Amino acid sequence: QVQLQESGPGLVKPSQTLSLTCTVSGGSISSGDYYWSWIRQPPGKGLEWIGYIYYSGSTYYNPSLKSRVTISVDTSKNQFSLKLSSVTAADTAVYYCAREGAYYGSGSYYWFDPWGQGTLVTVSS
């Protein structure tokens, strides 16, 4: 059973870079069957997809965050990471990592399962 766990600082100063790591257990990032995503949720608000990475290193980012986001992967450690630069208070959120699946056919669909438990990152001086 695949499990994901986020880790990283819970407090980041404005204008600095937020850095988080997601450790995957119970399965290999390198299997190639899935993408590995970051999703965030500001307190009391909805979900926002940040981006994904494939084990090969290919990435795709939310256009609204693309200029500030970098997602990387370390297959030797079975981890993938998020960096978000130039943070402001608007980046305060619970950050989740999740495994992203996709089905391509006459009716394509995508899903996130499982999710990590989430980690709250507060941007404040």
Partner 1 sequence: SSELTQDPAVSVALGQTVRITCQGDSLRSYYATWYQQKPGQAPVLVIYGKNNRPSGIPDRFSGSTSGNTASLTITGAQAEDEADYYCNSRDSSGDHKVFGTGTKVTVL
The correct pick among 9, 30, 74, 111 for binding partner 1 (CB under 8 A) is 111
- Confirm or reject binding of residue 112 to partner 1 (CB under 8 A): yes
3-state secondary structure of 89: helix
Footprint (CB under 8 A) of partner 1, residues 59-98: 60-64, 96
What is the C-alpha to C-alpha distance for residues 88 and 90, in angstroms, rounded to an integer? 5
For residue 59 the two structure tokens come to 């990435």
How many residues sit close enough to partner 1 to count as binding (CB under 8 A)? 26
Distance of CA 98 to the CA centre of its chain: 7
User: Sheet containing 18-25: which strands, arranged edge to edge?
Assistant: 3-7, 18-25, 79-84, 69-74
Q: Min. distance of Cβ 38 from partner 1 in angstroms?
A: 11
Q: Which residues bind partner 1 (CB under 8 A)?
A: 37, 39, 46-49, 51, 60-64, 96, 100, 103, 107-113, 115-118
